Chains A and B, each alone.
Chain A
């Protein structure tokens, strides 16, 4: 089975945002990056499916040169090769531009199965995978917690809201967006890191006609909807004061 996994490079969880001068995007020079967490689960699922059914796992990523960091990491964890749609303009692109850029590079590969994370931890549109499926002419399903492959088709477990699930069957080729927690992640071994250095990363220019569907007019720190009372002091002082306020003000004890 020929499996593609789309991964995105996003700021680390510990990153403290700063804005650029015109307050329409982040100051990128301050950012340290990592693999988008839901995409890491999609990669792990692809590796497990390859171990079970054979074939190859191709990592696909759209972004500036810096995204090679997460492409190398995916190769070190066990992916076979990579497609990198490289363009500086993709760093702040929305889901539609990313999906169109990926589709241009992926269409000729005739993948049997395409996996993505369910959303990215940066812009968080939760749309890239589904738009990509439409562009590749594949059926899709989202927020997937289990993948079974049988003759020419898939049986998948989709998460619904409030603890409900549903099994769905669909033909291959198909695209699935993977929910975090579907599996236990593996980490790169030293051997994997060494092997990754010899693996092929094919650079693909971004195709003509890739456009954003939305414009960020302004980016800001969120305004507080609630007056939060912050309690200072040492651990024991803060604990004492919190208990007093919970008892006397909030009447929550």
Chain B
């Protein structure tokens, strides 16, 4: 059996959970799939999940699961695994999963494979594809040791709309998740956002984004001129915002904004996966990079290999002509 651990916050399902169900359906072979959702309360999430073609939806509610802590979740998921005895535990590779899944695997002494983008074969003998070396290479890996094996799936690698729905709703069952709240060592406060963003990049029709290749803050003027000529907003990959060259609110990627504009121009961005997840849904992607092997070219519709300090100004000139 494959046990999918769905993610929810305050009764709202994280859609990456549906991608993980789609991945589990591809992986399953003849194995049944169960989906579990955990929280103090789970609202309509179990009913949402029951539309999937799965054997059962398990609901584990416990007051100690709100707010989320890794210690609390490890206790709950370990209890679920011991009850249900799955061969594979599947999770979306979210920040929350990254926070507790390694602890769970370490405590249970089971294999963990993270950030999976593809599945070869099915069932217990399947191997999993995952990026290595910042996406420059892809590895096919197999878990070792006893089941269950714990596998996390990269966000966006499987499509939520590819998830098969059931002909009727799957049964929803409440399960006990024993948690000793006195063993939770982390005490979280309420989540907050830093200063309200002055720019909403998710609404921009066109975006010119810069990466490490821009080399210095002074060179940002090159991107700004191109953006002006295109009627675009300027954005950046994480290292640029880490350096303070652009405010954090202009960062695209897993720790910043997710965008899907009509046109996305990537200047000197190599295309680490943390950046790609934030922009690969863009309708047309242009990549300009000096390294022909940069992973950004894998998602680009149009690519130019060359010096952005020559190409970007030439592009600006060309756009200003018309």
Asked whether any CB of chain A lies closer than 8 Å to the CB of B141, the reply is yes
Point out the residues of chain B lying under 8 angstroms from A238, CB to CB.
Answer: 304, 306, 311, 314
Asked whether any CB of chain A lies closer than 8 Å to the CB of B10, the reply is no
Given A222-B138, A222-B298, are A95 and B133 also a contact pair (CB < 8 Å)?
Answer: no
Most buried by B among A127, A158, A215, A226: A127
Report how far A215 CA is from B106 CA in the complex, Å: 17
Report how far A128 CA is from B103 CA in the complex, Å: 10
Of the 9-residue stretches B37-45, B54-62, B107-115, B161-169, which lies at the interface with chain A? B107-115
Report how far A211 CA is from B106 CA in the complex, Å: 12
Query: Min CB distance, A203 to chain B, in Å?
Result: 25
Q: Judge whether B113 and A214 touch: CB under 8 Å.
A: yes
Given A142-B95, A163-B257, A239-B315, are A126 and B114 also a contact pair (CB < 8 Å)?
Answer: yes
Point out the residues of chain A lying under 8 angstroms from B70, CB to CB.
Answer: 130, 140-142
Point out the residues of chain A lying under 8 angstroms from B255, CB to CB.
Answer: 143, 159, 161, 163, 179
Of the 9-residue stretches B18-26, B80-88, B192-200, which lies at the interface with chain A? B192-200
Given A96-B106, A124-B131, A235-B306, are A171 and B192 also a contact pair (CB < 8 Å)?
Answer: no
Report how far A21 CA is from B111 CA in the complex, Å: 27
- The digit string for B286-322, where 1 denotes a CB below 8 A from any CB of A, is 1100000101011111111111001101110111001
Q: Judge whether A159 and B142 touch: CB under 8 Å.
A: no
Q: Judge whether A236 and B137 touch: CB under 8 Å.
A: no
Given A161-B95, A161-B254, A235-B314, are A121 and B301 also a contact pair (CB < 8 Å)?
Answer: no
Given A122-B133, A127-B114, are A243 and B318 also a contact pair (CB < 8 Å)?
Answer: yes
Of the 9-residue stretches B28-36, B172-180, B216-224, B235-243, which lies at the interface with chain A? B235-243
Asked whether any CB of chain A lies closer than 8 Å to the CB of B233, the reply is no
Q: Judge whether A250 and B284 touch: CB under 8 Å.
A: yes
Asked whether any CB of chain B lies closer than 8 Å to the CB of A162, the reply is yes
Report how far A210 CA is from B277 CA in the complex, Å: 34
- The residue in chain B whose Cβ has the minimal distance to the Cβ of A41 is B242
- The residue in chain A whose Cβ has the minimal distance to the Cβ of B292 is A230
- The digit string for A104-141, where 1 denotes a CB below 8 A from any CB of B, is 00000000000000000111111111110111000111
Of the 9-residue stretches A11-19, A62-70, A192-200, which lies at the interface with chain B? A11-19
Q: Judge whether B241 and A181 touch: CB under 8 Å.
A: yes
Q: Judge whether A235 and B298 touch: CB under 8 Å.
A: no
Interface residue from A162, A220, A226 paired with B301 (Cβ < 8 Å):
A226
Asked whether any CB of chain A lies closer than 8 Å to the CB of B283, the reply is yes
Asked whether any CB of chain B lies closer than 8 Å to the CB of A190, the reply is no
Point out the residues of chain B lying under 8 angstroms from A26, CB to CB.
Answer: 133, 137
Within 8 A of A (CB), among B89-109: 94-95, 98-103, 105-107
A-side interface residues, number (CB < 8 Å): 80
Given A213-B144, A214-B143, A215-B142, are A250 and B254 also a contact pair (CB < 8 Å)?
Answer: no
- The residue in chain B whose Cβ has the minimal distance to the Cβ of A135 is B106
Query: Min CB distance, A12 to chain B, in Å?
Result: 11
Point out the residues of chain A lying under 8 angstroms from B192, CB to CB.
Answer: 164-166
A-B contact count (CB 8 A): 254
Asked whether any CB of chain B lies closer than 8 Å to the CB of A231, the reply is yes
Q: Judge whether A141 and B186 touch: CB under 8 Å.
A: yes
Given A13-B270, A253-B263, are A130 and B131 also a contact pair (CB < 8 Å)?
Answer: no
Q: Judge whether A217 and B112 touch: CB under 8 Å.
A: no
Report how far A217 CA is from B94 CA in the complex, Å: 25
- The digit string for B185-216, where 1 denotes a CB below 8 A from any CB of A, is 11111111110010000000010000010000
Interface residue from A95, A139, A216, A246 paired with B263 (Cβ < 8 Å):
A246
Interface residue from B133, B186, B190, B193 paired with A163 (Cβ < 8 Å):
B193
Q: Judge whether A139 and B141 touch: CB under 8 Å.
A: no
- The residue in chain B whose Cβ has the minimal distance to the Cβ of A174 is B185
Query: Min CB distance, A45 to chain B, in Å?
Result: 13
Query: Min CB distance, B317 to chain A, in Å?
Result: 7
Report how far A139 CA is from B100 CA in the complex, Å: 11
Q: Judge whether A225 and B299 touch: CB under 8 Å.
A: yes
Given contacts A95-B102, A123-B133, 20 further A-B contacts (CB under 8 A): A11-B133, A26-B137, A124-B134, A126-B114, A134-B103, A141-B99, A142-B95, A160-B95, A161-B95, A163-B193, A168-B186, A170-B187, A213-B145, A216-B141, A220-B139, A222-B131, A228-B303, A246-B284, A250-B284, A253-B230
Q: Footprint of B on A, CB under 8 Å?
A: 11, 13, 15-17, 19, 26, 95-96, 99, 121-131, 133-135, 139-143, 158-171, 174, 179-181, 211-226, 228-231, 235-236, 238-240, 242-243, 245-247, 250, 252-253
Please name the 7 residue pairs, one residue from A and one from B, whose CB atoms are nearest each other, closest first: A181-B242, A139-B185, A130-B102, A239-B314, A127-B102, A213-B111, A235-B310
